A and B are shown apart, each in its own frame.
Chain A
Amino acid sequence: MNDPALNPAAAENRAQRTRRLVEQSLRRRYRAERRFRAYGIMAVALGLCFVGFLFSSIISTGWTVFQQSYLRLDVSYAADVIDPDGSGDLETIGNADYSGLIKAAMRKQFPDVEGRGNLRDLYRLASDGGQFDLRERVLRDPDLVGKSETLWVLADDRVDLYMKGRIDRELGEDVRGLTDQELGWIDRLVADDRLEKRFNRSFFSNGDSREPEQAGVWGAVVGTFLTLALTLLLSFPIGVAAAVYLEEFAAKNRATDFIEVNINNLAAVPSIVFGLLGLAVFIQLFGLPRSAPLVGGLVLTLMTLPTIIIASRAALKGVPPSIREAALGMGASEVQTVMHHVLPLAMPGMLTGAIIGMARALGESAPLLMIGMVAFIVDIPHGFTDPATVLPVQVYLWADSPERAFLERTSGAILVLLGFLLIMNATAVILRQKFERRW
């Protein structure tokens, strides 16, 4: 009882001291907590701010791309222009001068315009692309020859810019891009309800073009789809197989450590290096076609593999060992254990890795420049070996073009790219939830 530590009064004192010290420190602890939360909120707000700025800037310049100015013209499919022999031969019909039909329709609209120079200016109000529409219509239905119909044909990009309010009438003639005479014609067309903004079909159905009003994003969308489909098809199975082997079957020794370090290094290699590798190996050595989604997919596969392998290995590491032991204890072979139990449990994590990898691949342009996917390609690709480009490269190409009308196309292409990303991620999230719902 003489031990001071056992003295009741001293114990009481110590308890009080603890209480006092805890109370003193409480306020400081709460302050630190509030400060920490404030930092977090600030960080999130800053991030949202940048995202909001990005989106508002892209959407504000890009939303007009969904509409395009069209001219309503009374086109007569003159038989002497399209099919002078009356043979009905599709080749003759295909080679006819449809641009002349549009010019004739324009002349009919403005009978008072005379002189070569003036007429040329008049013709330039309609886009050169309208002739392809006419040709397609006639080829689809040769009975049209000799008849006439009222059609909406594409207007020139300068007309479109004016209609979207991007050309200021008050500016001088030389800086505005449209002459007073042209403005007069436009006013007359608008007054006659022959010029208006309609849904921009051609943006979503055309390939690239030198003429902004004809340039569409569809070629790049198809190219992106083909490239990414190949990337996913190759990188996900290979990545998962590599991760499963390294994690579940490979002996843990120097060699596996070496491989692991190098996979991690590979994930940090600049993407353009993969592009150069693809150029040297796939195109030079194997002789695969340039600018093709095949090569693009292979290059992006190389780039995406490390990400998927690393994420998949982490997902496999996260599967509790008790499940492995349970399966092995039941007499499942190692492959059965992995296939029946470990892989389904690791699948959500692997899909997360795949999303990250694919999102990176979707936004990649540098390695694709190296393998020629930066070429000017008008045709919509139909297969893995057709020349193609992808959305980020299309954005790069249009952003580099001098015509003002390409500005909204660029933002429009970015919007389409974001939409593509959204659909891709949504699919992956749904897939992941489906796997996770299996308790």
Chain B
Amino acid sequence: MATVPSDMARRTGGSLPDGGVQLDRSESAHRTVGDITAKNPVLVCRSVNVFYGDKHAIRDVNLDIAHNQVISMIGPSGCGKSTFLRCLNRLNDTIPTAKVTGSISLDGQDIYDKRQDPVQLRARVGMVFQKPNPFPKSVYENVAYGPRIHGLAGDRTELDEIVQTSLQRAGLWAEVKDRLDAPGTALSGGQQQRLCIARTIAVNPEVILMDEPCSALDPIATARIEDLIDELQQNYAICIVTHSMQQAARVSQRTAYFHLGDLIEVGSTDQIFTNPRHKLTEDYITGRFG
């Protein structure tokens, strides 16, 4: 008896009769609803597929990411939004079984090209992680690390200046200026996350990727990070993965909805949350599953 539903599931391409939601998992990739292009794009992704061994984690995603704009990626757990994010700075390279196909270009240059060095790419595409992960070094060393390895500062005063401006722009300077030698890991969760943001912007990237940056933080710390994203948007392209639809609505101008490895719908944040065009998007944002 128990095998019947799974047999059925396999034959009908993954759709389960329960719940009333048709999870379309046919072999051909889904055609994204909405306008995937953007004016003034910094990252252009075309036919991006990601495989983890046999698992097809991202299926044929096309998406532009624009300068000076926040794009949020939403979707149920395991839909591939984090995986997609990690393609943008080639962090998936560190997973031996991961394979990425298609093209992603940064300012017209393919980042998966053989000549593209991942180290250089990651200096241009910074990343903030879900769990605050400051280095077990002092606050100063955390921020100075990027400029130091990339040789951005000529001397100590220049480095001091970079550290100070980065911490100021991350809204952390006032809180840590008297304890730059204190360990970064001794700060509170929200401060640690802002330290990670300061560390990222210290190397002046073009794009900042944020993978659920507030999921481990309390509402007050979250609000501070969201304000910070608003400010950073003036200088950077920001991609933020989030589980909180309110957060997506608050911080982003564009929203992309992922579902089981497919990019279902892209549009302006207003349109996605007020007038979703795809049934799956509507079901997700109205809370019918997620």
Contacts and interface: CB of A to CB of B under 8 A. Distances in A.
Contact of A251 (B96, B126, B149, B200): B96
A326 B129 contact: yes
A332 to B, nearest CB: 6
A168 interface: no
Interface string A330-355: 11110010001100110000000000
Given A330-B199, A331-B123, A439 B186 contact: yes
B33 to A, nearest CB: 32
Given A251-B96, A331-B120, A331-B203, A325 B133 contact: yes
B94 A328 contact: yes
Contacts of B137: 438
Given A329-B126, A330-B122, A322 B149 contact: no
Chain B residues touching A, majority SS? helix
Contact of B136 (A251, A252, A329, A345): A345
B126 A330 contact: yes
A327 interface: yes
B133 A322 contact: yes
Interface in B118-159: 119-123, 126-127, 129, 131, 133-137, 145-146, 149-150
B91 A328 contact: yes
Nearest to A345: B136
Interface string B62-106: 000000000000000000000000000101001010000000000
B149 A336 contact: yes
Contact of A439 (B120, B146, B183, B203): B183
Interface string A69-92: 000000000000000000000000
Interface in A133-161: none
B200 A330 contact: yes
Contacts of B131: 322
Most chain A CB inside 10 Å of its own CB: which residue of B96, B149, B199, B203: B149
A323 B135 contact: yes
Interface residues of B, number: 29
A323 B136 contact: yes
A327 B135 contact: yes
B268 interface: no
Given A328-B91, A336-B149, A439 B123 contact: no
Interface string A387-407: 000000000000000000000
A332 B127 CA distance: 13
Nearest to B146: A330
Nearest to B150: A331
Contacts of B133: 320, 322-323, 325-326
Interface string B106-121: 0000000000000111
B215 interface: no
A438 B119 CA distance: 27
B196 interface: yes
A66 B79 CA distance: 75
A348 to B, nearest CB: 12
Contacts of B203: 330-331
B247 interface: no
Most chain B CB inside 10 Å of its own CB: which residue of A251, A329, A336, A341: A329
Most chain B CB inside 10 Å of its own CB: which residue of A331, A340, A345, A439: A331
Interface of A: 251-252, 320, 322-333, 336, 340-341, 344-345, 438-439
Given A252-B96, A326-B133, A329-B91, 7 more contacts: A322-B131, A325-B127, A329-B89, A330-B203, A331-B122, A332-B119, A333-B119
